[in-house]
Amino acid sequence: MVEAGPAPRPALCGAELEVPLVTGGQRPYVNLDYAASTPAMVAVARAVERFLPYYSSVHRGAGFKSQVATAAYEGARERLLQFFGARDGDVAIFTRNTTDAVNLLAAALPAGSSVVTFASEHHADLLPWRREGLKVTCLPVPGSPEEAVAALAGALAETAPADLFAVTGASNVTGELWPLEQLVRVAHGFGTRVLVDAAQIAPHLPLDIAALGADYLAASGHKMYAPFGAGILIGLPDWLGRLEPFLRGGGAVDFVTTDSVRWSELPARQEAGSPNVIGAVAMAVAADELQRYGMDRVWDEESAMAGALRAGLAAIPGVSVYAMWPRATERTGVISFNLEGWQHSLVAAVLSAEYGIGVRHGCFCAHPLMLHLLSVPDSGAEEIRARLAQGDRSAVPGAVRASIGLGTSRSDVAYFLGAVAELARRGPQIHYELDPSSGDHVPALLPEWARARAAELVSVASPGY
């Protein structure tokens, strides 16, 4: 009997996409913006297409389509619990994305709860706790993983009993992995629960919530090669099931009169309204494909390319690569940098318009961390706020972020490094203008194809050049 070889790397929609260049001609698109949103897997798109004829409202429907849709929806929930290594008794709530999942948990916290987090977090882990009835302790950006563990221990010793500690799995700015096992151990030592924002690690490395010991985990389908509008919150059921629903409406109730309501049990209690059945199915199929390929393989392959990308950028004169922690630590394939003498929005615009490379620029929904990395003083932050109040976004500092994923090849990395090196050496080939209202740079003269494309899209904005 011939043994089957390793599963092939999952194919991605748009892998053969070619884009026009302002300098003439077109070339294959190099997507280095996986940290923001990933393209759909071909297997996911095909699964959605196969499911669409059976799409229907789920639960309580006697029709055949409704029964199939319900089975698919609840099957997706079970598959994602398994993918993330959930414990017996954990509940999985479908949400729109990680931000929605964290806000759901914040709304479910008992009144008077205290939450500890770090200033280096994504806004999804910073802002939901700033609500009436919750006490928030925001710790400074730590100087090392060891300092993060020590800072958490010190804060919990002072604020005990803190109810929840919220932390990201990996920085969406620098890619640095947080010491989750140590942080969970410290928090549990003080009786504090832990929420892990897994948005930046779920599609890149093996993750087992039971082995890790975290109490809650939040993730997004659009970062897991299933951009169909679904996310998930997995964890202990008591807070989520004890209080009234975050959203109120049909599907979350067992019985209603004009002056009373009996809320449903979990998970229905926190999934009011018609759920995103297609998004849930798509996310589960993506998880299955990742598991089939092997998360260890994903991590090993991406780590090698990320290392080459980081070393290549650091070797280019004038490039500054950012990190929270000076000592080398494990990182995902997320790298943020600046090129001396050039505004981050201009670098991103040139890479797109002249080279066909898609990157992201700005503060990446992590403003406090970016201010820290860029050494912006409090007075500088005040000036930024004042200019924003006048409608000028050009003063907002930031960086360029390149991030890799399943569709990234070594040739993509080499081409990107060559483009940055060429830009550093000779600058842009055409003139770009800064739009203060957006803070973005665009070519001064839009080519005819860009105007035609904009007209074709009608109300959709042009791609920036």
DSSP 102-130: HHHHHHHSPTT-EEEEETTS-HHHHSTT-
pLDDT of 454 strictly over 70: no
pTM of this prediction? 0.93
pLDDT of 464 strictly over 50: no
**Residue in the structure block whose two tokens are 């989750």:** 180
CA gyration radius, the chain: 23
pLDDT of 1 strictly over 80: no
pLDDT at residue number 411: 98
pLDDT of 143 strictly over 60: yes
- The average pLDDT across 74-99 equals 98
Which has the closest alpha carbon to 196: 233, 166, 240, 232?
166
- The average pLDDT across 321-344 equals 94
The CA distances from residue 332 to 175, 206, 247, 324, 414, in Å, are 5, 12, 34, 14, 18
pLDDT of 427 strictly over 90: yes
**What sign for the dihedral angle of Cα 189, 192, 197, 198?**
positive
Q: Which two tokens stand for residue 376?
A: 């912006």
pLDDT at residue number 450: 60
Whether 181 and 210 have beta carbons less than 8 Å apart is answered as no
**Domains contained in the chain, CATH given:** 18-35+295-457 (3.90.1150.10), 45-292 (3.40.640.10)
Distance of CA 389 to the CA centre of its chain: 28
Q: What is the pLDDT of residues 407-422, one digit of tens each?
A: 999 999 999 999 999 9
pLDDT at residue number 451: 60
pLDDT at residue number 5: 72
- The average pLDDT across 146-155 equals 98
Which has the closest alpha carbon to 168: 134, 145, 150, 191?
145
**What sign for the dihedral angle of Cα 440, 445, 448, 452?**
positive
Q: How much is the mean pLDDT over the chain? A: 93
Whether 371 and 384 have beta carbons less than 8 Å apart is answered as no
Distance CA 428, CA 415 (A): 16
- The average pLDDT across 14-20 equals 94
- The average pLDDT across 283-306 equals 98
Percent of the chain with pLDDT over 90: 88
Q: What is the pLDDT of residues 100-121, one digit of tens each?
A: 999 999 999 999 999 999 999 9
Q: What is the pLDDT of residues 122-142, one digit of tens each?
A: 999 999 999 999 999 999 999
- The average pLDDT across 13-28 equals 93
pLDDT of 461 strictly over 70: no
Distance CA 274, CA 288 (A): 24
**pLDDT class for 457, splitting at 50, 70, 90?**
very low
**What sign for the dihedral angle of Cα 451, 453, 455, 461?**
negative
pLDDT at residue number 277: 97
What residues act catalytically? 365
pLDDT at residue number 460: 46
pLDDT of 459 strictly over 60: no
- The average pLDDT across 443-462 equals 58
**pLDDT class for 3, splitting at 50, 70, 90?**
low
Residues in the chain: 465
Phi, psi of 262 (to 5 degrees): -110, 110
Q: Which two tokens stand for residue 275?
A: 């759920």
Burial class (CB in 10 A: 0-12, 13-18, 19+), 97: buried
pLDDT of 438 strictly over 80: yes
pLDDT of 199 strictly over 60: yes
Whether 325 and 390 have beta carbons less than 8 Å apart is answered as no
Which has the closest alpha carbon to 286: 231, 234, 235, 333?
231
